[in-house]
Amino acid sequence: MTSLAGGRPRVVFAQFGHGRMGKVHARNVAHHPRARLKYLVDPLADPLQAAEEYGAEVVDENRVFADPEVAAIIVASPSKTHAALVERAAHSGKAIFCEKPIDVDATRVRAVLRTVAQMGVKLFLTFNRRFDPSFRALHDRLRADEIGKPQIVLLTSRDPYPPPIEIIKISGGLFRDMMIHDFDVARWLLDEEPVELYAAGSCLNDPRVAEYGSLDTAVVTLRTATGAICVINNANNATYGYDQRVEVHGERGMLQISNRLPDSVVSSNGDGVAHTPPRHFYIERYADAYRIELDEFIAMLLDGKTLSPTGEDGLRALVLADCANESHLTRRPVAVPQS
266-325 residues in contact with a copy of itself (CB under 8 A) are 266-278
Distance between CA 174 and CA 177 in Å, rounded? 5
Show the site string, 108-137: x = touches a copy of itself by CB under 8 A, - = not.
-------------------------xx--x
Asked whether position 332 contacts a copy of itself by CB under 8 A, the answer is yes
Residue of 154, 195, 283, 299 that binds a copy of itself (CB under 8 A): 154
Which 64-103 residues touch a copy of itself, going by CB under 8 A? none
Least distance between a copy of itself and beta carbon 229 (Å): 5
- Residue 277 is given by DSSP the state P
197, 329 in Cβ contact below 8 A? no
Which 28-67 residues touch a copy of itself, going by CB under 8 A? 31, 33, 48, 51-53
Give the three-state DSSP class for 99.
Answer: coil
Q: What is the DSSP string of 63-111?
A: HHHH-TT--EEEE-S-GGGHHHHHHHHHHTT-EEEEPSPS-S-HHHHHH
Asked whether position 221 contacts a copy of itself by CB under 8 A, the answer is yes
Asked whether position 3 contacts a copy of itself by CB under 8 A, the answer is no
Nearer to a copy of itself, 28 or 77 (CB): 28
176, 214 in Cβ contact below 8 A? no
Count residues near a copy of itself (CB under 8 A). Answer: 80
Give the three-state DSSP class for 146.
Answer: coil
Contact stretch for a copy of itself (CB under 8 A) within 67-75, 81-89, 106-114, 218-226 = 218-226
Least distance between a copy of itself and beta carbon 8 (Å): 5
Nearer to a copy of itself, 109 or 246 (CB): 246
Does a cis peptide bond (omega within 30 degrees of 0) precede residue 101? yes
Nearer to a copy of itself, 147 or 283 (CB): 147
Nearer to a copy of itself, 12 or 138 (CB): 138
End-to-end Cα distance, the chain: 34
Distance between CA 293 and CA 310 in Å, rounded? 12
Sign of the CA dihedral running 137, 140, 145, 148: positive
Contact stretch for a copy of itself (CB under 8 A) within 13-21, 89-97, 199-207, 309-317 = 199-207
Distance between CA 36 and CA 82 in Å, rounded? 22
Strand-pair partners of 39:
14, 57
Distance between CA 50 and CA 27 in Å, rounded? 10
Nearer to a copy of itself, 118 or 240 (CB): 240
Nearer to a copy of itself, 36 or 82 (CB): 36
Distance between CA 232 and CA 220 in Å, rounded? 5
Which 233-272 residues touch a copy of itself, going by CB under 8 A? 233, 235, 237-241, 243, 249, 251-272
Give the three-state DSSP class for 31.
Answer: helix
Asked whether position 228 contacts a copy of itself by CB under 8 A, the answer is yes
Phi/psi at 93 (nearest 5 deg)? 75, 25
Contact stretch for a copy of itself (CB under 8 A) within 70-78, 83-91, 105-113, 216-224 = 216-224
